[in-house]
Structure 1
C-alpha cells in the first residue's frame, strides 16, 4: 500500500522533516541533519506525534554520525552517542517513545561493546550499528501501524457502516506512515465500512483542524471537522459508533496520556455508551509506571492559548494554564489497540498491560 503523506523523509543520506507548523497553507520539508536541528524541530513541534518524535530523534543523530568528520575510538563514540541521546530526550517530556528509543539504543550499543576493540575501527562499527538500527525504525513503525489499523477495524466488525470520532492528529503526519488511530479510520475506509469520520479541532494547537483535516481531505475520506466543544452534542445527535484516539504514553494499568481534551471525550463517550479505543504501538507503553499519576505532563507556552498565527485573541494580563496532555483513566477506555492485538479489560475494569505484552511476545517467538 502506498503511503500518501510523509512527515519524515530519509533518502540518499539526507533527513528532512515536514514543517507541520506551516500546514495546511504551506507544504515545506526542512533539513534535519544535526541533533541541534532535530531537538529544535521536536521542541517547537515542527515534527510531532509520539512515534515520529522518536524516529526523528534517532535519524537526526544517525545523519550527524554519518557526517562526522572526526574519527572516534570505541569509548569516545559511545560517549558521543549516549550524550546526544540524553540531550534529545530533553526536547519533550511526555511521549515515552522518545525515552524508550534512547534506552533501547543504549542497550544495543552496550551489548555490542564487548565484541569490539577500543580503537577507530571499533568506534566506526558502533557508529554504523546505531545508524542501521535508526534506519530500521521507519519500516518497523509503518508495519506496526498497519497492524494497529487491522486490529482496530476488527473492533467494529459487527457494524456494516460506522461513524468514528477522533482527536488530535494520529495519521501519517504523526508517525513514519499510515498512522495509529487515523490508521484505524484509514483501514475502515479501505474496507468500505467507514460511513463518516469526525475530527475535533484540538485546541489550542489545532492539530485536528490543521493536520487531521488535511490528511482526511488528502485521502478523500468522508469527514467533518468540529470544534472541541461540540463533541458531546455530536455523540447525541449523529449516532457515533466509536471514538478512537492515540496515545503519548500508556502505563501498566491502562491509564493513558494523550492530547489535552481526550479525557473529556472519554467521559462523554461513557455517558453516551460509545466505545472508546486508544490506538498505540507497544513503543508507547510504559509498564515502569503503575498509573497515570506517575506521568509527567508537559506544559506549553501561554502564547499557544492567547494567540492564533501570532494574532492575540485573549485579554492582556490574563493568566494561562496550558497542559499539552491529559490523563484518561483506564476505567473509561474500552480497549487499547496495539500492533499485537487489542488489550482487553480485566475484572476490575483496568488493563493488565504488561501481562498481555509478555504473552503476545512469547507467542510470536514460537512461530
Structure 2
C-alpha cells in the first residue's frame, strides 16, 4: 500500500487523499480518508504522514484538494496554511509551490501536476536506490560482497515517500542484491520512528535487522560493527549542511570517529539553494508532551517541561556523500548542492 495517494471518484463525488496513518503502526494499518485541507494539516502536524518526499506529494495533492473543494479565493487561503504546516521540511512548501504555478489554469491542471509529483517521486526513489548502492560499492568495494552492516535513524523508506524511499530505499536495494548482513535501526526518540516504522518495513521485506537505543549508536559504531550510516534529510542547504531527525548529527560524529561513510539520501527537491547554510534552517520544536509521555503514560513530574527539537543539522564536512535522484554530491571533494547539475 502506498503511504499517500490520490483517489479519484466519479462525479459528483469529490476525490480525496488516501493516507496510511503512521501513528498507528506497527500494530494497526489504518487508512485515512483526507477530504479537506484541515484534515490534511492535522495529519501532517501529528505525523500521520511524514517524511520529506511524502510531504512534497502531500503539499501538491493538498493544493489540488483545496481547489477542488472551494473557490480560488478560499483555496489560496487554505494552501497558505498548508504550506507552513512543517517549517523545517522544505518539501512540503516545494510541493505546494510547484502545483501553484498551474493554479490559474484551473483544477484539472493542478491535479495533473500533483499526480506528476507523485509519479516522479516513485521514479526518484528508484534512482536514489541505484545511485546509493553504486556509491556504497565504490566506497566499500571489498566489503560489499561480504555483506554490509548498515545503520540508519528515523524512517526513510516507503512510508516516507510514495514507494521506495530514500536512505532505507538504498538499504532495501542492498538487501535485494544479496549484499546485506544486518541493519541497525536507531529507535529514534521521542516518537520511535525507527523502532516502529523502520523495523516494520524491514520485517515486511524480510531483511535482517535489530533496533538500538539512540544513545548506544555511537558506542556500537566505535566498536567496528558498522560499515556505513545512511540517513535522510528534510532540508539540505546550499553548502551541503543537512537537517534531519534529531540524533543524526550525533551519529555523524560517530561515523567520523570510526572512519566510516556517512551518506545522506534525499531527492533534489530537498535541496534549498535559497538557504546558504544549516544555521539558517528553522528547527521545529514539538513541545513537551511527546518527550514526557510514552503510550499515554507521563514519565516525568507534572512540573517538568522539555526541549523537543524535531531536527538537528549535520555540517557538510561530516557528510561523505549526498545521493539524490539526479546526482551524487561529494562535499569532501569540494562539491556543493548549489553547484549546477
TM-score by length of 2: 0.92
- Contact 1:156/1:162 (<8 A) preserved: no
Q: 1:249 pairs with 235, 245, 258, which one?
A: 235
- Contact 1:163/1:194 (<8 A) preserved: yes
Q: For this pair of structures, how many residues does the alignment match?
A: 329
Q: 1:33 pairs with 32, 35, 46, which one?
A: 35
CA distance in 2 between counterparts of 1:317 and 1:243 reads: 38
CA distance in 2 between counterparts of 1:327 and 1:66 reads: 37
Name 2:159's counterpart in structure 1. 173
After superposition, where does 1:39-78 map in structure 2 within 5 Å? 39-68=41-70, 77=72
SS of the residue corresponding to residue 260 of structure 2 reads coil
Q: Does 1:317 align with 2:303?
A: yes
SS of the residue corresponding to residue 243 of structure 2 reads strand
Q: Which moved further from structure 2: 91-100 or 230-239?
A: 230-239
Q: Does 1:129 align with 2:109?
A: yes
CA distance in 2 between counterparts of 1:253 and 1:57 reads: 25
CA distance in 1 between counterparts of 2:305 and 2:64 reads: 41
**Offset, 1:238:** 5.2
SS of the residue corresponding to residue 164 of structure 1 reads strand
Q: Give a deviation string over 1:48-98, Cα, whole Å, max 9, x none.
A: 111112212322342343355xxx5xxxx2x44433221101211000011
CA RMSD of aligned residues (A): 1.6
SS of the residue corresponding to residue 25 of structure 2 reads coil
- Contact 2:59/2:93 (<8 A) preserved: no
Q: 1:104 pairs with 98, 101, 108, which one?
A: 98
Name 2:12's counterpart in structure 1. none
Q: Which moved further from structure 2: 326-335 or 8-17?
A: 8-17
SS of the residue corresponding to residue 56 of structure 2 reads helix
**Offset, 1:31:** 0.8
Name 1:362's counterpart in structure 2. none
Q: 2:2 pairs with 6, 30, 41, which one?
A: 6
SS of the residue corresponding to residue 338 of structure 2 reads helix
Q: 1:88 pairs with 82, 85, 94, which one?
A: 82
SS of the residue corresponding to residue 200 of structure 2 reads helix
- Contact 1:247/1:284 (<8 A) preserved: yes
Q: 1:24 pairs with 23, 26, 33, which one?
A: 26
- Contact 2:222/2:254 (<8 A) preserved: no
SS of the residue corresponding to residue 91 of structure 1 reads coil
SS of the residue corresponding to residue 79 of structure 2 reads helix
After superposition, where does 1:225-304 map in structure 2 within 5 Å? 225-237=211-223, 239-304=225-290
CA distance in 2 between counterparts of 1:178 and 1:27 reads: 18
Gaps of 5+ in 2: 9-14
Name 1:365's counterpart in structure 2. none
TM-score by length of 1: 0.86
Gaps of 5+ in 1: 114-124, 360-367
Name 1:354's counterpart in structure 2. 338
Structure with larger Rg: 1
**Offset, 1:8:** 1.2
